Structure 1
Amino acid sequence: MQIAATSLDQTANTRDMIRGMLAESPAEREFNLDIGKGLIQFKDGRPGRIEPVTSSSRGLEGARPTFVVCDEVHHWIESNQGVYVWETLDRNVQKTAGAGSRLIETTNAFNPNENSIAQRTFEAAMELGATGILYDCREADRDIDLKDEDTVRAGVIAAYGDSHWVDVDGIVAAIQDPRTAPAVAYRFYLNNIQENADGWLAKSEWDACLDEDDPIKPGDQIALGFDGSLRGDSTGLVGARLRDGKLFVLGLWENPRDPRQPDWEVDVLAVEAAVQRAFETYKVEWAYCDPPYFQEAIGRWSITFGDDRVFEYWTNKPMRMCEATERLHSAVAVGDVKHEGNPDLTRHMLNAVTREVPQGILITKDSPRSKKKIDLAVCAILAFEARADAIADGRLNARRGRVVGF
């Protein structure tokens, strides 16, 4: 039997309960068990044991477990190897399922932006019609008023069902504590599927900004945001229409993570062509470009298209970047920004999580090694900030002229 989690400490949630139930029990005496802190086995050396396994465990492949407990699978995501561990454990169980081997998953409500194992199991069982899965979930009514104590209490009772030992009053108080973020209350106390409490944008708010009726047209006045890389991160180019702030993607060069392309690099010539196309197709009034890796190119763009239109914007300057980040976040929250529904832009925007610094809030990936990219979100912030500065400079609907001195 294997108790699996993303860390050894996490396996203790289940392992310690088993140790407590077995210690000094008839089962301990009858089966002559050695109940260790990490391993439970027979003292006489017979085959059979209960062991913890994590993503760092060696030799997971090929084991023949009779029962596997996968704990807190809403935390099992690609960046912490949780998906790899689950796939390996599931393969092992499937090989002996005919003999009775089984796998159980325990979880809180998942974050729909993370594509965790909890989310994959939910979608397989409830949306894709997978067979052989028993999905059992108790959930409070969605989006209840967290300030209404009676409604919250009813939601807690519904979510916890017949768990009579639960301190309902304590949980109600925790939910209504002003320090508890709504996303945390919904996910971890009421078992509602919610975006990460640290997520920069709520999916519902971003979806509400979708506008498919007023497409971007050649000749429209726009601002640009550019964030460049060469290998690891993505390179992106995003536009924002001046008159309504509508965001659209002009280019994305993203590492495909294909083992057949270990030396993949951004096609710099394709990036140059996309920038050229943007200036030829639209009236680009302002462009903010993050200099690393492309400083020489940005200098040439400034010479070619005008140093009053192309500007360096260092995203590693916290004060300025915090202000720009807050500008776009506030615009999304109140519906003062639009977008075309581009799936890559949506993915990057919803991948972004917040990071607090002394100057305010920045966005970042959910972990330093995460494969969930946010570069188009950075481009969108730069484009929206460039739009604001272009408007402040009086360029909205202003005819661009040329002053010649004699």
Structure 2
Amino acid sequence: MPWKPSVDGEIPTLGYEVLDWITAALAAPDHADYVPFVPYREQEDFILRWYALDPDTGRRRYSRGVLGRPRGWGKSPLLAAIACVEAMGPVVPDGWDAAGQPVGTPWSRVRTPWVQLAAVSEEQTRNTWAPVLEMLRAEAPVHDLVRGLEPMESFVALPNRGRMESITSSARTVKGARAVFAVLDQSEEWVPSNGGVKLATTMRSNAAKVGGTTLESPNAFIPGEGSVAEESAAFHDAILSGRSRDDGLLYDHRESPPETDMTDRESLIAGLRVSYGDSSAHPGGCVLHTPPCSPGHVELDRLVATIWDPAQDVQQSRSDFLNQITHASDAWVSGPEWAARVDLGRALAPGDRVVLGFDGSRGRVRGKADATALIGCRIADGYLFEIGVWEQPAGPAGKGWMPNPLEVDRAVREAFESWRVVGFYADPSGWTEHIAKWEAAFGKRLRVKATQGAPITVWPRGKDARVCHYVEQLRVAIVTGECAHDGAPSLTRHVLNARKRHTRTGYLLYKAYPDSPEKIDAAYAAVMAWKARTDALSQGIGRGGGNGKVLVLS
């Protein structure tokens, strides 16, 4: 029988069965006597999404998941509960019942269940493994539901040779262990130097072979470290921007608003209530649901005291408690700074006066082609927007890929048709012929010119001291709020990828390391668009109405 939604827009999920099993079988950790484990409403919502099914095939919708929350939110108990239900509960789709609703069955009906909880150190594995043992304590009802269950100190023996175990990146047997489910705990700490990236790749491959799943639980990562959490965020971005054929990743990361002021108590409490959600304890109950649910376990006043401790590092507090993905020490713009300038309410209208910035691909690094980016900026209010970013697709589709010049040319011409383009600055490297054609086609229409002889071409002999000034101009505009942007994922990723490298006259933008596959081309295109806007304003092409009058800026 096919899936029958009970209400419009409903998505089939095994989550309801999973939640029933969890609350009926498991003990809540950190209690002297038996108390059933009952997830918060926010945690229930995640479980419903994680166990979503494809209504056509009846298969699990997601093969990978990321649950990003701040320290102390309750990730470890929730993941321990999910690991237990994966080992023993109804998580495998088994068709639809007579009412057209999904039915689940345990892995033991399909294959021997093998569940792993992994981290890159013994101390980290205890974060999730300790709650597992508490949930399976002797008086927990799970022992009545699953006969033959034997919790040990380092593993849990399941009936019919099944097994739950904790492992680290030093485990030698992980390659042959085809776990049906694996937790990748604190994946922001999984980096190439400690074997974390290799371990994650191996565990995902193992799960794929048996139709299993993996679930990460990172805190906020530091961009540029190459962690597993950072790679998963990049995969999520690729899905959003249409650069990935696979969309089987459930990405659930929540952080405090970027405008959270850590020196202002009211603002800080409000930000913490967002990042901690239902787990925060406060008189009004939870933030995420109405009517209010019961307050959680996290005392926000204690967090404020910790954050304001003079010995506490500010950036560490942003990562640990606000769950904000901030920046590397040499980042050009931080995540919160950039996020604070997103303005989705500003709509572009036909005929708006805009300027364009273009940075084209010039070569390949380790087989990956540079990106090509066309970024616009409205003169009236300094609104940056993404017109097109052409990047090599992931996987086999990207082999030998190069940007299609016809697509890029069409995007440029459509921009001139859609808006009043008064300036267009482009880096000529690798695109000299195309830029020459654009200069011939549009040069006379441009009121803002790089030079009279070459109205579009900027820095023809490479980046010099002036470019250092242009880069810093845009950074200051972002930090002070003079600049806003559309939040486009590719532009955002390129801006946050950009690193500062100091020169004798300032600094320029570079990738995190020379061979990095992460691109920054859209960031440079934005720099050129912003420079064109600055030149337009200096020539009297002002913010209002386009009457050509000189505007005196305060």
TM-score, normalised by the number of residues in structure 1? 0.60
- Shift in alpha-carbon separation, 1:270–1:260, aligned structure 2, 3 A: closer
Kindly indicate whether residue 519 of structure 2 is the aligned counterpart of residue 373 of structure 1.
yes
> Which residue does 1:304 correspond to in 2?
441
> Which residue does 2:400 correspond to in 1?
263
Q: Give the distance between the partners of 1:352 and 1:14, measured in 2 at CA.
A: 28
Deviation string, structure 1 residues 4-62 (Cα, Å, up to 9, x no partner): 88xxxx869889xxxxxxxxxxxxxxxxxxxxxxxxxxxxxxxxxx99747xx999632
Deviation string, structure 1 residues 349-393 (Cα, Å, up to 9, x no partner): 3x3243240333443334444444332222111101111012213
Q: Give the distance between the partners of 2:491 and 2:124, measured in 1 at CA.
A: 40
What is the letter of the counterpart of residue 250 of structure 1?
A: I
Gaps of 5+ in 1: 16-49, 97-102, 122-138, 162-167, 401-406
Comparing 87-96 with 376-385, greater Cα deviation is found at 87-96
Gaps of 5+ in 2: 1-115, 126-165, 234-255, 273-279, 281-297, 299-304, 444-450, 550-554
SS of the residue corresponding to residue 61 of structure 1 reads helix
> Which residue does 1:403 correspond to in 2?
none
- Shift in alpha-carbon separation, 1:248–1:264, aligned structure 2, 3 A: same
What is the letter of the counterpart of residue 375 of structure 1?
A: D
Q: Give the distance between the partners of 1:279 and 1:323, measured in 2 at CA.
A: 28
> Which residue does 2:156 correspond to in 1?
none
What is the letter of the counterpart of residue 221 of structure 1?
A: R
What is the letter of the counterpart of residue 428 of structure 2?
A: P
* Residue correspondence of structure 1 range 274-353 to structure 2 within 5 A: 274-306=411-443, 308=452, 309-313=455-459, 317=463, 319-349=465-495, 351-353=496-498
CA contact (8 A) 1:183 1:194 kept: no
Kindly indicate whether residue 308 of structure 2 is the aligned counterpart of residue 196 of structure 1.
no
- Cα shift at 1:304: 2.8
> Which residue does 1:27 correspond to in 2?
none
TM-score, normalised by the number of residues in structure 2? 0.46
Larger relative contact order, structure 1 or 2 (CA cutoff 8 Å, min sep 6): 1
CA contact (8 A) 1:187 1:194 kept: yes
CA contact (8 A) 1:238 1:249 kept: yes
> Which residue does 1:86 correspond to in 2?
200
What is the letter of the counterpart of residue 229 of structure 2?
A: I
What is the letter of the counterpart of residue 284 of structure 1?
A: V
- Shift in alpha-carbon separation, 1:304–1:105, aligned structure 2, 3 A: closer
- Shift in alpha-carbon separation, 1:363–1:352, aligned structure 2, 3 A: farther
> Which residue does 1:25 correspond to in 2?
none
Q: Give the distance between the partners of 1:95 and 1:388, measured in 2 at CA.
A: 55
Q: Give the distance between the partners of 1:282 and 1:269, measured in 2 at CA.
A: 20
SS of the residue corresponding to residue 250 of structure 1 reads strand
Kindly indicate whether residue 192 of structure 2 is the aligned counterpart of residue 73 of structure 1.
no
- Cα shift at 1:297: 1.9
Q: Give the distance between the partners of 1:317 and 1:280, measured in 2 at CA.
A: 31
The alignment of Structure 1 onto Structure 2 pairs a total of residues equal to 320
* Residue correspondence of structure 1 range 36-51 to structure 2 within 5 A: none
SS of the residue corresponding to residue 269 of structure 1 reads helix
CA contact (8 A) 1:250 1:274 kept: yes
> Which residue does 2:145 correspond to in 1?
none
Q: Give the distance between the partners of 1:205 and 1:79, measured in 2 at CA.
A: 29
> Which residue does 2:383 correspond to in 1?
246
Tell me which of 496, 499, 507 is aligned to 1:354. Answer: 499
SS of the residue corresponding to residue 457 of structure 2 reads strand
Q: Give the distance between the partners of 1:51 and 1:328, measured in 2 at CA.
A: 46
> Which residue does 2:67 correspond to in 1?
none
